[in-house]
Amino acid sequence: MLENFMKNKILVTGGAGYIGTHTCIALHEAGYDFVVYDNLFNSSREAINRVSTLIGQTIEFIEGDIRDAESLKQVFAAHHFFGVIHFAGLKAVGESVAKPLMYYNNNVSGTITLLEMMSEYDVKNFVFSSSATVYGDPESLPINEESPRSCTNPYGQSKLTVEHILEDLAVSDDRWNLIALRYFNPVGAHSSGQIGEDPNDIPNNLMPYISQVAVGKLDKLSIFGNDYPTVDGTGVRDFIHVTDLAKGHVTALNYLNKQTRSNGSGTAKKNSVGFLPINLGTGKGTSVLELVSAFSEVSGQAIPYQFTDRRAGDIASCYASADKAKMLLGWQAELSIADMCRDTWHWQSMNPNGYTKVI
């Protein structure tokens, strides 16, 4: 538990979503108070109810949109926040290609409105959900935070644009403390099986697709390409357990606490964090076939698959250097690929239809 002097209230935008719900639990376990702000565009009240049950406490939840300045104003006026963890946004790459304005409006304009409100209420500590997608097709592996950035789709561009905005903001005023956490491939679910990833439609991403094949909702997995220059020809990614990822956010807040608080005597100097990008990954690559095999072993289910053409825009390999997170935040991923598969399977088999129906 944090010491009392570090106990702070956090605004969690998008806190009803996949990573947000897990982070709410981690915040509670670490002794932080929080308020969830979410428009429920891609989530449900049921997710909030389940988090409440898991932490044994009612959650302060406000249904609202980050693009709604008036609504945000009321929230900032009613609370004294130490900082904001900003998950709210849209995340489907294919949809972003079809509806770029919707993505820029939500992810970029929404973030600007939020930052303006933070500025007005003098809340200057910010943890942003960025993505490894900002690295595009990496020149070398593992990918560290200094690697060049480039994006090929509107979703990735929206994350990169927000990073540029945060960089400019940090230059404009050194009271801002802006951490961009670049997630690699978040998977898994809470060990209780009560919360997890709940895709709206047929999943685009690998782990939810595998788990829906395992539970019998989908017939077979298509593996997009088996001719990549990788260990077995299939794509390699840095899968990270969502519980580890959630803890990464707590360590980012703890870091901001340490850097920005005086020692109470009023004499200690506060350090400006500026713009600080940090990878959250395990540092290990796992191929699609290796993940399929691990999932099959843990779940005891066969995962039928076929090889198909490469998916447009995919890269061969992507995994993080996780050194900076370890050095600055004292954070490193602890859970294994088997843990990720076990917890995904637990969630999927207990909730074959996500939050809409419980068996």
Partners of residue 85 on adjacent β-strands: 12, 127
The option from ligand UD1, ligand NAD, none interacting with 180 (CB < 5 to 8 A, set by class) reads none
Report the nearest approach of ligand UD1 to the CB of residue 184 (Å): 7
The option from ligand NAD, ligand UD1, none interacting with 235 (CB < 5 to 8 A, set by class) reads ligand UD1
SS3 277: strand
Active site residue ranges: 155
Contact criterion met (CB below 8 Å) for 111 and 66 = yes
Q: How far apart are CA 286 and CA 236, in angstroms?
A: 5
Binding mask 179-218 for ligand NAD (x = CB under 6 A): ----x--x--------------------------------
Binding of ligand NAD by 99 (CB under 6 A): no
Question: Alpha helices, DSSP H only, in 69-226?
Answer: 69-78, 93-98, 100-103, 110-120, 154-172, 206-214
**Which whole-number Å values give the CA distances from 60 to 45, 207, 307, 341, in the listed order?**
12, 31, 46, 31
Q: Report the residue from 87, 135, 255, 345 that binds ligand NAD according to the rule CB under 6 A.
A: 87
Binding of ligand NAD by 131 (CB under 6 A): yes
**Which whole-number Å values give the CA distances from 103 to 1, 147, 302, in the listed order?**
38, 25, 37
What is the CA 62 to chain-centroid distance, rounded? 20
The smaller minimum CB distance to ligand UD1, of residues 75 and 206, is found at: 206
Binding of ligand NAD by 156 (CB under 6 A): no
Residue numbers 211-270 binding ligand NAD by CB under 6 A: none
The smaller minimum CB distance to ligand UD1, of residues 125 and 133, is found at: 133
What is the CA 239 to chain-centroid distance, rounded? 12
Report the nearest approach of ligand NAD to the CB of residue 284 (Å): 17
DSSP letters spanning 129-142: EEEGGGG-S-SSSS
The option from ligand UD1, ligand NAD, none interacting with 138 (CB < 5 to 8 A, set by class) reads none
Binding of ligand NAD by 16 (CB under 6 A): yes
The smaller minimum CB distance to ligand UD1, of residues 83 and 154, is found at: 154
Report the nearest approach of ligand NAD to the CB of residue 46 (Å): 12
Q: Report the residue from 24, 34, 51, 89 that binds ligand NAD according to the rule CB under 6 A.
A: 89
Binding mask 43-62 for ligand NAD (x = CB under 6 A): x-------------------
Binding of ligand NAD by 38 (CB under 6 A): yes
| Residue 275 dihedral angles phi and psi, to the nearest 5° | -100, 125
Q: How far apart are CA 280 and CA 277, in angstroms?
A: 10
Q: How far apart are CA 351 and CA 192, in angstroms?
A: 12
Applying CB under 6 A, which residues contact ligand UD1?
93, 131-133, 155-156, 185-186, 204-206, 209, 221-224, 235, 237, 288, 311, 313-314
The beta strands (E) that lie in the chain are given as 9-13, 33-38, 60-63, 83-86, 125-131, 177-183, 185-187, 221-224, 236-237, 239-241, 274-280, 286-287, 305-308
Binding of ligand NAD by 65 (CB under 6 A): yes
Quick one: residue 135, left, alpha or beta (phi over 0 = left, psi -120 to 50 = alpha)?
Answer: alpha
Nearest CA to 9 out of 24, 20, 255, 160 is that of 24
The option from ligand UD1, ligand NAD, none interacting with 223 (CB < 5 to 8 A, set by class) reads ligand UD1
Number of residues that bind ligand NAD (CB under 6 A): 27
Sites of contact with ligand NAD (CB under 6 A): 13-14, 16-20, 38-43, 65-67, 87-91, 106, 110, 129, 131, 183, 186
